[in-house]
Chain A
Amino acid sequence: MINKLWVGLIVIGSLFLIITGRADVLNAQILSSGKATLELVMQIFPLVSLWLGIMNIAKESGLLLKVSKLIYPFLHRIFPEIPKGHESFGYIASNILSNMFGLGNAATPFGLKAMKSLQSLNKNKEEASHSMITFLIINTCGLCIIPTTIISLRMLYDSKDPSFITIPCFVVSFISLLFGLMIDKIWRKKDGGSK
């Protein structure tokens, strides 16, 4: 799927640039994409390391397991395939909480860690498990109580009420999350046996 999307993006983009006589943009992109990626990864790297360090403390002290057990009744319905008390519940909960507070910087490392622990439960290491896809849907819905970036942008432009969007954002993302979980469930059934 990603393969087709990637080929499509490059072929359509490149052909269009060549037809409109802007091949130089293509050349510039070949150089600048590498730099852009490296900059992004360099931004993520220290944050990921820091949060992995802190999460490791939570894991070794047993706090993560406690949180996992506490949150199990709530998340069990959404993730029926994860065994009770598995550490991934702790990471998933941390990721969802950080996202809700609009803390993308912390949410990403937790999300990566959650994915890694879901991978340890996965039978076929090259194929996405149902739990992974469900977790991904929760993430792409961006359920958020405090959309920090947008609020600060609104402040920058002297909005009368910068945090006005908070409630509409929450309501809309919550409804779309319910929809996402629903069609995820339908697809999961269709996908059937292969876990």
Chain B
Amino acid sequence: MKMASSLFIPILVLVIIVYAAYKKVNVYDSFVSGAKEGLPMVKSMFFSLLAMIFGVNIFLKSGVINYFFDFLRPLLLFINIPAEILPVAIMRPLSGSFGLALLNDMYKVYGPDSFISLLASVIQGSSDTTIYVITLYFGTIGIKKIKYALWVGLLTDLFMVIVALILVPLFF
């Protein structure tokens, strides 16, 4: 599996370049003119990312979310869900680095092969940073009205956590 992952890029690059050379494309010029598009693209993503990172960081650093966790904890215990999972699940769509840091802490405390770490890993690995992806993709191409994108994204994230809670015990 790891082999396939590390071979994917070299083979992809090789196939693209050899095929283009065979088709008599000026590969070098083509690369340079394509790469030039990178700068305007990065320029247009910067400002929307700045806005979102600023907002998310103020919210996360304020620690207000801890009160929210404390509030929900008894409820989770009531329906037999490990309360430690809550921060991982809520952070997942908000911040990639925060989520990874939480996972890191969990491995440290419970070990990477414990049930709770496994559950957290699956939640972390079965989704992406929804808010970041929306900001990055829509910000870069200048979309102002995102319509129902955020709702569908967050609902799917919630559904994913529920599926993980049901399925991971079966794998363990």
Interface residues of A (CB under 8 A from B): 1-2, 5-6, 9-10, 12-14, 16-17, 20, 22, 25-26, 29-30, 32-34, 36-38, 40-41, 44-46, 48-50, 52-63, 97-98, 101-103, 106, 108, 111-112, 115-116, 119, 125-128, 132-133, 136-137, 139-142, 144-151, 153-154, 156-169, 171-173, 175-177, 179-180, 183-184, 187, 191
Q: How far is the CB of B136 from chain A (nearest CB, A)?
A: 7
The 9 closest A-B pairs by CB, nearest first: A56-B34, A49-B38, A53-B35, A61-B20, A180-B156, A176-B160, A13-B58, A142-B128, A159-B112
CB nearest neighbor in B for A184:
B152
Instruction: Write out the residue numbers on chain B whose beta carbons fall within 8 Å of the beta carbon of A125.
Output: 142-143
- Report yes or no: A14 in contact with B49, Cβ–Cβ below 8 A: no
Cβ–Cβ contact A158 & B137, under 8 A: no
- Interface centre among A26, A139, A158, by most chain B C-beta atoms within 10 angstroms, is A139
Of B143, B159, B167, the contact of A126 (CB 8 Å cutoff): B143
Q: Contacts A10-B54, A101-B4 given; 11 further ones with Cβ under 8 A?
A: A45-B38, A52-B34, A53-B35, A56-B34, A63-B16, A101-B8, A127-B144, A133-B152, A145-B4, A177-B156, A180-B156
Return chain B residues, CB-CB under 8 Å to A13: 55, 58-62, 64
Interface size counted on chain B using CB atoms at 8 A: 95
Q: Tally A-B pairs: CB < 8 A.
A: 323
Tell me the B residues contacting A by CB distance below 8 Å.
Answer: 1-2, 4-5, 8-9, 13, 15-17, 19-20, 23, 25, 27, 30-39, 41-42, 45-46, 49-64, 93, 100, 103-104, 107-108, 111-113, 118, 121-122, 124-131, 133-138, 140-153, 155-157, 159-160, 163-164, 167-168, 171
Which residues of the partner chain A approach B151 to less than 8 Å between Cβ atoms?
1, 187
* Overall SS of chain B's interface: helix
Chain B nearest Cβ from A10, distance in angstroms: 5
Dominant SS among interface residues on chain A: helix
Counting chain A CB atoms within 10 Å of each CB, which of B118, B122, B136, B171 scores highest?
A: B122
CB-CB under 8 A from A137, the residues of chain B are 149, 152-153, 156
Measured between alpha carbons, how far is A103 from B59 in the docked complex, in Å?
29
Q: Are B167 and A172 in contact (CB under 8 A)?
A: yes
Would you call B157 and A140 a contact (CB within 8 A)?
Answer: yes
Which residues of chain B have C-beta atoms less than 8 A from A44's C-beta? 42, 45
Question: Are A36 and B20 also in contact (CB < 8 A) when A165-B122, A169-B126 are?
Answer: no
Residue ID in chain A nearest B50 by CB atoms: A37
Q: How far is the CB of A14 from chain B (nearest CB, A)?
A: 6
Q: List 10 A-B contacts (CB under 8 A).
A: A17-B61, A41-B46, A53-B32, A61-B30, A128-B146, A137-B156, A140-B127, A165-B122, A176-B127, A180-B152
